[in-house]
Amino acid sequence: MKNILGAIPKNEYTTKLSVSVCYAVLASIALNFFWQPGHIYSSGLTGLAQILSTLISKTSLFTVPVSAILFVLNVPMFCLAWKKISKKFTVFTIISVTLASIFMQIVPETVLTPDPIICAIFGGAINGLGTGFALRSGISSGGLDIISITIRRATGKSIGSIAILFNAFIIFAAALLFGWKYAFYSALSIFISGKVTDVVYTKQQKMQVMIITKKPEEVVSCVQDRLRRGITIIHGAEGAFSHDGQTVLLTVITRYEMHDLEDAMKASDKEAFVSISDNVKILGNFYDPGM
């Protein structure tokens, strides 16, 4: 592990460690200030840990904290990430999950409001914010994130259906333990958490870029210096008004890379015409940076 961390630039190490701490704090606030007091269940392994903790406390004389169960459930995920994603990604994911488990244990459960709707909304939003920032920085909160990233890197496809089925199980368990009212509140919280994560984690939002330029070599060189993206070059285009010769360049980037693309275009050809289409669907492999 020392060799792995030694190969990471100091500024990147500091950033990832800071994000891990932020995620841990936000996840513990979501759990202990909103979800647990409001009987709201999270998505993924955190929700499963809540269910197991509740069942143990109801069927035995002792209790097992959610934080301990969550860490144990994530151990197989660490092994999967180590083999299938990257060692650097796994190290920082272990750090983030460990810190989250520690903070969940030491942050006291506090009832800010008895309203389960408020608990569902704010718990989901805070957790989604933390998860989104973690994924954006090349680490994860563990659990289903690791399975999703593994399959997406291998096939280029999402596994939203698996997440939906797993979370449906969480919601059904909430209904059995606390009633259907709380199951619906849990569904609301899971939905909000996912939406906030999507807004923050812009690396998964793909955009198709079409560049019409008279300086194709300069543009290609400048873009590829800043982005690890393939570019398709179409020669022989012609402007309908001036009939000047043009070259069309096509590529796909993530929204997270938009700023780098803008810088590249300013440096290579300020007069180029750039058209961008949001949320395009990609078939096949697509390089996922930062993991």
pLDDT digits (tens, 9 = 90+) for 204-219: 677 889 999 988 899 9
User: Hey, what amino acid is at 71?
Assistant: F
The predicted pLDDT at position 182 comes to 87
pLDDT, mean over the chain: 84
What average pLDDT score do residues 144-170 get?
72
Higher pLDDT, 23 or 147: 23
Q: Report whether pLDDT(146) > 70.
A: yes
Q: Report whether pLDDT(8) > 70.
A: no
Torsion-angle region of residue 138: left (phi > 0), alpha (psi -120 to 50) or beta?
Answer: left
What average pLDDT score do residues 135-139 get?
77
Q: Which CATH number fits the domain 205-277, given the four candidates 3.30.70.120, 3.40.50.620, 3.40.50.800, 3.90.226.10?
A: 3.30.70.120
Domain range annotation of the chain: 2-201, 205-277
pLDDT, tens digit (0-9, with 9 covering 90-100), for 259-283 = 788 888 988 988 889 998 877 777 6
- Burial bucket for residue 184 (CB in 10 Å: 0-12, 13-18, 19+): middle
CB atoms within 10 A of CB 156: 14
Q: Is 244 helix (H, G, I), strand (E, B) or coil?
A: coil
User: What proportion of the chain, given as a percentage, has pLDDT over 70?
Assistant: 87
Do residues 47 and 170 touch, judged by C-beta distance below 8 A? yes
Pairing of strands 206-213, 245-254: antiparallel
Do residues 167 and 152 touch, judged by C-beta distance below 8 A? no
The predicted pLDDT at position 99 comes to 94
With cut-offs at 50, 70 and 90, classify the pLDDT of residue 58: confident
Q: Is 7 helix (H, G, I), strand (E, B) or coil?
A: coil
Q: Report whether pLDDT(51) > 80.
A: yes
Q: Please, what is the angle between helix 116-136 and helix 180-200, to 10°?
A: 30
CA separation (Å) from 283 to 158, 181, 210, 252, 280? 11, 40, 18, 12, 10
